Amino acid sequence: MPPIVWLVRTLVGAYPHWVGSAPSANQRIYFANHTSHLDTVVLWAALPESLRANTRPVAAKDYWGGGGLRTQIARDELNVVMIDRAREDPEADPLDPLRDALEHGFSLIIFPEGTRSAQPLPGPFKSGLYHLAVEFPHVELIPVYIENLHRSMPKGALLPVPIICTVRFGAPIALREGETKEQFLERARNAVIALAQ
Amino acid sequence: MQLTLHETFFAVLGGLVLLFATATLLGGWLQTRAVDAVKLAWIGQLNARIRASWAIVLLFAIAFAVGSGALVLTFAIASFFALREFVALTPTKPSDHWALVLAFYVVIPLQYALVYTGWHGMYAVLIPVYVFLVLPVVMALKQDMERYLDRVAKVQWGLMICVFCVSHAPAIAQLEIAGYEGRSALLLLYFLLVLQLSELLAVIASAAIGRTPLRSDPNKSREGVLLGGVGATLIGTALWWMTPFTWWQAALMSAAIVVAGFMGGLVLASVKRSLGARDWYDGAQLSRGVLDRLDALSFAAPVFFHLTWYFFTD
């Protein structure tokens, strides 16, 4: 077990709870609520070891790419896909690195709210998930609800407090025929919220 | 005839290995033979307790090899996981963050460091006095008055049960008793044995004779608990030779352990229910059952420690 997984398990448990789907090697996009910097590691650690190798979390370049230990973990352990939230190059599409990873057969972990919220339930989703659903119809979209992590490490806190967190994996959703972007994103968000109950 | 410390240890551990090996084989055999769901659930409960018994043997084998620091460290880790479980089920708020940081990263190591050094005057008051006074201050600084007393009380209560009470188990191994020098680890083993046997016997007797199930624990019956308690007290009395007690003192001490242990189970079952979990180990996996295994110990350890300290040390 890599040290980062061991550390996460000790502190917050990160116990997986497969409610609507089972672990599978199918190509997937896991999308989850985002309340803490630990989310990325916790969701990744909750996956079975065999799936971790080809599942890459998508993480903000401005937080994980700053250098030092954090970047080292992001690059060597998690193999993250860096997304440019700040759009340093206005011409480039921030989704391009994600497309690239999907084309190479990786599964992804994304947080469609785009930023951490102070509430346990997710806010409105950004449109990236929709575009990926349109372009990669064969990839399963798995809603995930991470419970309790906002209590372990609330926004602004430096140290995580040990609290048992569970990670709930729901049933896959897919883009319906004739569904608008707004309808789809709202349905995706509700799928995550439904797992909170 | 006085056995040396090593001889006593090997005799006791050897006896335990035989006992638990028999229990494990029997439990496994019962599991393959059980057909109805009620029986299977009961055997599951029994086997979980037998596994916990093996943990005791393993713990003491390690402690014997590397010293009593291993005992202190093991209980410190148990406290950590128990408190983690307790906090997960307690509705804390983000403004409690610093209080929890203090509880996990300062209070637990400090309490166990004090236990390890044997500074009884300090570890007996650290949590009930100093933490009791400091914790509300830390939480008041956040200016979040919503359910303030509620939150302070719950964190303090969790610390008392999961850290203060549990830490008195390894403290037993640090007691210095005249005429029993260097053997206190045996006394801890004795304490854990009596406690564990009263659990095991209660579960077995409840299944064997049944009758009135306990409201706090449907796997036990009133008659079974009584029988288990009497059995454990008798065994505790028969084991007087590994303690500094005479046989009748050992009988009273065993009875105290059994009664306090029963109360611990009762109280923690009530706490659990008031926090909304049926079991510390529930289906949603908010906990992993550490507190379920420590409920009796958390009450019996401080009682047994204090009685021994008060009557048998100078």
Q: Is residue B48 part of a domain?
A: no
User: Is residue B211 scored above 60 in pLDDT?
Assistant: yes
Q: Judge if B250 and B307 occupy the same domain.
A: yes
User: Is residue B106 scored above 80 in pLDDT?
Assistant: yes
User: Is residue B278 scored above 60 in pLDDT?
Assistant: no
Q: Which amino acid is at A165?
A: C
Say yes or no: B197 contacts chain A, CB-CB below 8 A.
no
The residue in chain B having the minimum alpha-carbon distance to the alpha carbon of residue A147 is: B286
The torsion angles phi and psi of A57, rounded to 5 degrees, stand at -70, 145
The helix (H) or strand (E) run that includes residue A166 is strand A166-169
- Other CB atoms closer than 10 Å to residue B11's CB: what's the count? 13
Domains of chain A: 3-196 (3.40.1130.10)
Question: Do residue B101 and residue A161 have CB atoms under 8 angstroms apart?
Answer: yes
More confident: B245 or B181: B245
Q: Tell me what ipTM this predicted complex has.
A: 0.82
pLDDT for position B2: 62
More confident: B51 or B280: B51
pLDDT for position B312: 92
pLDDT band at residue B284 under the 50/70/90 scheme: very low
Q: Judge if B154 and B224 occupy the same domain.
A: no
User: Is residue B82 scored above 70 in pLDDT?
Assistant: yes
User: Is residue A25 scored above 80 in pLDDT?
Assistant: yes
Cα–Cα distance, A160 to A153 (Å, whole number):
5
Domain boundary among B174, B202, B236: B174
Per CB-CB distance under 8 Å, the chain B contacts of A151 are: 92, 94
The residue in chain B having the minimum alpha-carbon distance to the alpha carbon of residue A155 is: B94
Highest average pLDDT, of A91-100, B32-41, B164-173, B192-201, comes from B164-173
- Is residue A22 within 8 Å of residue A173, measured between CB atoms? no
Per CB-CB distance under 8 Å, the chain B contacts of A148 are: 88, 286
Tens of pLDDT, residue by residue over B139-155, are: 999 888 888 999 999 99
Q: Is residue B31 part of a domain?
A: no
Furthest CA-CA distance within chain A: 46
User: Is residue B109 scored above 90 in pLDDT?
Assistant: yes
Counting the structural domains of chain B, the total is 2
- Is residue B63 within 8 Å of residue B33, measured between CB atoms? no
Structure tokens at A132: 């990926």
Cα–Cα distance, B300 to B294 (Å, whole number):
10
More confident: A165 or B167: B167
pLDDT for position B285: 47
The 3-state DSSP class for residue A115 equals coil
β-strands A166-169, A140-147 pairing: antiparallel
User: Is residue B101 scored above 60 in pLDDT?
Assistant: yes
DSSP string spanning B214-267?
-SS-TT-BHHHHHHHHHHHHHHHHHTGGGSSS-HHHHHHHHHHHHHHHHHHHHH
Task: Write b or e for each residue in B223-259: b if 16 or more Cβ atoms lie within 10 A of its Cβ, otherwise e.
Answer: bbbebbbebbbeebbebbebbbbeeebbbbbbbbbbb
Q: In what order do the strands lie in the sheet with A55-60?
A: A15-18, A166-169, A140-147, A28-32, A107-110, A55-60, A81-83
| Nearest CA distance, B283 vs chain A (angstrom) | 9
Q: Judge if B280 and B140 occupy the same domain.
A: no
Q: Is residue B253 part of a domain?
A: yes
Domain boundary among B128, B159, B174: B174
pLDDT band at residue B286 under the 50/70/90 scheme: very low
Domain boundary among B174, B206, B232: B174
Say yes or no: B287 contacts chain A, CB-CB below 8 A.
yes
pLDDT for position B149: 92
Q: Judge if B310 and B204 occupy the same domain.
A: yes
* Structural domain containing residue B138: 68-174
Structure tokens at B107: 């209070």
Q: How far is CA B302 from CA A111, A143, B143, B167, B245, in A?
A: 47, 47, 35, 8, 18
Q: Judge if B124 and B194 occupy the same domain.
A: no
Which of B210, B250, B237 has the alpha carbon at shortest distance from B226? B210
Average pLDDT on B88-114 reads: 91
Per CB-CB distance under 8 Å, the chain B contacts of A157 are: 94, 97
Q: Which amino acid is at B103?
A: A
Provide long-range contacts, Cβ within 8 A and 24+ apart, for B306-313.
B306/B168, B307/B253, B307/B256, B308/B172, B308/B175, B308/B177, B308/B187, B308/B253, B309/B120, B309/B175, B312/B175, B312/B177, B312/B178, B312/B180, B312/B244, B312/B245, B313/B175, B313/B176, B313/B177, B313/B178
The pTM for the full model equals 0.87
Of chain B, the percentage scoring pLDDT greater than 70 comes to 95
Q: Is residue B225 part of a domain?
A: yes
Tens of pLDDT, residue by residue over A146-170, are: 988 888 888 778 888 998 888 999 9
Tens of pLDDT, residue by residue over A54-91, are: 999 998 888 887 778 888 888 888 889 988 877 777 77
Q: Judge if B117 and B250 occupy the same domain.
A: no
Q: Judge if B210 and B252 occupy the same domain.
A: yes
Structure tokens at A178: 């004739």
Per CB-CB distance under 8 Å, the chain B contacts of A150 are: 94
| Nearest CA distance, A137 vs chain B (angstrom) | 32
Q: Is residue B190 part of a domain?
A: yes
Tens of pLDDT, residue by residue over B231-246, are: 999 999 999 988 999 9
Average pLDDT on A101-120 reads: 88
Question: Do residue A13 and residue B100 have CB atoms under 8 angstroms apart?
Answer: no
Partner-chain residue, chosen from B100, B285, B287, that has the shortest CB–CB distance to A161: B100
Given the structure tokens 């497309």, which residue do they identify? A99
